[in-house]
C-alpha cells in the first residue's frame, strides 16, 4: 500500500524545486492524533496506527512554492514545472520500499 502526497513545501530553495520525503511508520505513529475536528493527513495516519491498522508507505513530493497567497491558480513558475512534477510523482509508482 502506498500513499503519495503532493503539496507545497518550503524548503528554502527556488520556486519549483522538488523535494522527496519518506515518512516512516515510527515517525507517523509518534505522538497522539489531534482532535477529529480539522484532522490533517498525518493526524489520520496516526489514528490509523493507534487503531492497529496497517499504515501505507508514505512519500511526500514537496514543491517549493513561488507564492502562497490564497487562490486556486498555480503561479506561472509552478505551472511551467508541471511536466517535471508529474514525472516525479509517476516515478514513485512501483518504487521499492
Report which of residues 62 and 38 the model is more confident about: 62
User: 68 in a domain, yes or no?
Assistant: yes
Whole-number pLDDT of residue 29: 60
- Which cell numbers in the block locate residue 79? 505551472
pTM for the whole structure:
0.76
| CATH of residue 45 | 3.40.50.1450
User: 95 in a domain, yes or no?
Assistant: no
- Which cell numbers in the block locate residue 20? 522527496
Into how many domains does the chain fold?
1
Whole-number pLDDT of residue 17: 95
What DSSP assignment string belongs to 40-54? -HHHHHHHHHHTTPP
Instruction: Please answer whether residues 2 and 59 qualify as being in contact, where contact means their C-beta atoms are separated by less than 8 angstroms.
Output: yes
User: 54 in a domain, yes or no?
Assistant: yes
Domain that holds residue 51: 2-90
User: 65 in a domain, yes or no?
Assistant: yes
Amino acid at each position: 500500500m502506498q500513499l503519495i502526497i503532493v503539496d507545497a513545501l518550503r524548503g528554502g530553495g527556488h520556486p519549483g524545486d522538488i523535494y522527496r520525503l519518506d515518512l516512516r511508520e515510527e515517525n507517523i505513529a509518534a505522538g497522539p492524533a489531534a482532535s477529529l475536528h480539522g484532522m490533517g493527513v498525518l493526524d489520520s495516519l496516526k489514528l490509523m496506527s493507534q487503531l492497529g491498522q496497517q499504515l501505507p508507505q508514505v512519500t511526500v513530493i514537496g514543491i517549493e512554492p513561488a507564492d502562497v497567497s490564497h487562490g486556486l491558480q498555480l503561479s506561472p513558475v509552478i505551472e511551467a514545472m508541471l511536466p517535471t512534477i508529474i514525472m516525479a510523482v509517476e516515478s514513485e509508482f512501483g518504487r521499492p520500499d
